[in-house]
Amino acid sequence: MTEGDLLRRLEQLNAIGVALSKEQNITNLLESILLAAKAITQADGGTLYRMNPERTALRFEILRTDSLNFAMGGSSGRPIHFPEIPLQQADGTPNDSHVAAYAAIHARTVNIASAYTEGDFDFSGTRTFDQKTGYCSESFLTVPMKDHEGDVIGVLQLINAQRSSDGAVVPFSLADQNLAESLASQAAIAITNRHLIGQLEGLFESFIKVLNLALDEKSPHTGGHCQRVPALTMMLAEAVCLHQEGVLAGFQMTDRDRYELKIASLLHDCGKVTTPVHVVDKATKLQTLFDRIALIDTRFEVQKRDAEIAMLRAQLALRDVHNPQAEADLQAECQRQQTAMDADRDFLRVVNRGAESMKDADLQRVRTISEKSNVLTDDELENLLIRAGTLNTKEREIINHHIVATIKMLEQLPWPKHLKNVPEYAGGHHERMDGKGYPKGLTRDQMSIPARIMGIADIFEALTARDRPYKQGMTLSQAMGIMQKFSANGHIDPDIFAVFVQEKVYLRYAQEFLEPWQIDDLHAINPLDTLNAVGKPQT
């Protein structure tokens, strides 16, 4: 080998090392390692083995032989069904007869000039392969791949070095061996780094799942939400990526972008760990640790009893004058009062549920009941006067604070570069396109597309969710009707909502997460009608 040729191969080795350090996909990484080793040693074929998790055997990962146009594993699309190579014999002794196992067991490179004259190793399997294919496996270079701690994590085996001048098969030179060992060392570190990164990512995602599990244990009405919103977010994000019209045409996501959005959607409600359970789980307007409507029921019963006692006393006073008509009138009046009390009590029971928005007349009737009787405290009156839902102004502020807590929590973390947008994505799902949202009052132009996507996913999941304490999940037609209004009035992004409708993301989500009864007359949800209702998407 000339000095110039050696320099060229060293430069090639350096370039390979840089490329390996950038590769994120482990399968692509393994394939790149084998192809690079073949190229740098001018080998016709090669196999890359990895140690199995139990460290008891080597398993085939990638096979390539150029002259046979033979490829298995990796990008070839052809799975490898060869059995693992055990590192020990049945009697527990080392499997030193197999060259790849020997290299792994002893962490030693084996350079064989000719498999057909080699006596230290069993090449019967190789000879069988040659007989079937007409190939001639001659020179072998088998190199252990050791990580930074010196542990063998795999074996790189190269077959049939080819002379540059005429392509003839020759033994692997010492220079070939040194280059292959250097490459194997770099490759092992790259594999280990990728594995460690994968472990850290897995640990981080597990931590997030534990956090969501804590929310689930704290309240069963939030845990499902923390799982469904990420699923819908990613469905919609993929649909937007495929959309090639209007202002969204240029939006694309890499695998790292997808991972970033996934993490953000998983963490979008992490601030709810600070929200009191009695507020999150408030199923009725009067609920605290228990539903206080029972206290009001008791007060009504006491008033009915007092009315009956007063009537009986008045009747008793009339017995000396023998006036049956007056006694009957007293009883009738008592019954009228009790019937009115029952009606007021039943009305307050309905109001307490918070299922429907209250009209002005309903609010006035609550006030009138409070004024003419002593069945309501000031706090109970305040809660029963909630126009929609079950939360009063103070409780609504407590609920809304969860997004502030989410942002504060996420901004405290030292996010790596590829996750730096997580706080912005997760913290923007309660903003509105018209700037009337919270907590920052951002407008559409101030928000990223992923944050706007998550906003739609969060709302649609909440409308259709069946596990809320204060309502039943809506049907598709009901939820889509509300979403249409939100798109028209500046609440959500109309362009992204148009994709949500046109690509039937709502239907794919419904089929996976909703009950059959919620998937109502789909013909009533016509994409063209929806777009007409919300107006033409902005471009």
Identify which of 258, 255, 261, 232 has the alpha carbon closest to the alpha carbon of residue 499.
Answer: 232
Distance (Å, whole) CA 184 – CA 152? 11
Within 8 A by CB and 6+ apart from 509, the residues are 231, 232, 235, 460
pLDDT at 244 over 60: yes
Query: What's the burial of 180, exposed, middle or buried (CB within 10 Å: 0-12/13-18/19+)?
Result: buried
Within 8 A by CB and 6+ apart from 16, the residues are 32, 36, 40, 183, 186
Has this prediction a pTM greater than 0.85?
Answer: no
Distance (Å, whole) CA 475 – CA 468? 14
Task: Give residue 471's pLDDT.
Answer: 61
Q: Pick the range with the lowest mean pLDDT from 226-240, 258-272, 391-405, 516-530.
A: 516-530
Task: Give residue 264's pLDDT.
Answer: 94
Residue 472 phi, psi (nearest 5) = -90, 150
Give mean pLDDT, residues 460-469. 80
Q: Pick the range with the lowest mean pLDDT from 139-148, 246-255, 256-265, 391-400.
A: 391-400
pLDDT at 64 over 70: yes
pLDDT at 233 over 90: yes
Task: Give residue 222's pLDDT.
Answer: 59
H, E, C per residue of 132-175: HHCCCCCCEEEEEEECCCCCEEEEEEEEEEECCCCCCEECCCHH
Question: Do the Cβ atoms of 493 and 247 come closer than 8 Å?
Answer: no
In DSSP notation, 315-351 reads HHHHGGGT-HHHHHHHHHHHHHHHHHHHHHHHHHHHH
Give mean pLDDT, residues 38-66. 93
Higher-confidence residue of 245 and 377: namely: 377
Question: Do the Cβ atoms of 248 and 449 come closer than 8 Å?
Answer: yes
Element (H, E) at 235: helix 220-242
Tens digits of residue pLDDT in 493-509: 999 999 999 999 999 99
Higher-confidence residue of 71 and 275: namely: 71
Give helix 174-218 / helix 220-242 axis angle, nearest 10°.
130
pLDDT at 534 over 60: no
Task: Give residue 213's pLDDT.
Answer: 78
Give mean pLDDT, residues 189-206. 83
pLDDT at 178 over 70: yes
Task: Give residue 353's pLDDT.
Answer: 86
Amino acid 383 reads N
Instruction: Provide the sign of the torsion angle of the four alpha carbons 117, 121, 126, 128, taken in this order.
Output: positive
Helices (H) and strands (E) in the chain, counts: 19, 8
Distance (Å, whole) CA 132 – CA 121? 21
**Tokens 């912005």 sit on residue:** 424
Question: Do the Cβ atoms of 28 and 126 come closer than 8 Å?
Answer: no
Residue 42 CB-half CA count within 13 A: 19
Q: Which two tokens stand for residue 230?
A: 């990420």
In DSSP notation, 457-516 reads HHHHHHHH-S--TT-PPPPHHHHHHHHHHHHHTTSS-HHHHHHHHHTTHHHHHHHHHS-G
Task: Give residue 538's pLDDT.
Answer: 34
State the Cα torsion 67-69-70-75 to the nearest 10°: 130
Assign 27 to helix, strand or coil. helix
Tens digits of residue pLDDT in 132-176: 989 999 999 999 988 878 889 899 999 999 998 888 999 999 988
Give mean pLDDT, residues 265-293. 81
What is residue 437's DSSP assignment? Answer: -
pLDDT at 537 over 50: no
Task: Compute how many other C-beta atoms are within 10 angstroms of the C-beta atom of residue 231.
Answer: 17
Residue 187 CB-half CA count within 13 A: 31
Tens digits of residue pLDDT in 81-111: 999 999 999 999 999 999 999 999 999 999 9
Question: Do the Cβ atoms of 86 and 56 come closer than 8 Å?
Answer: yes
Give mean pLDDT, residues 174-202. 84
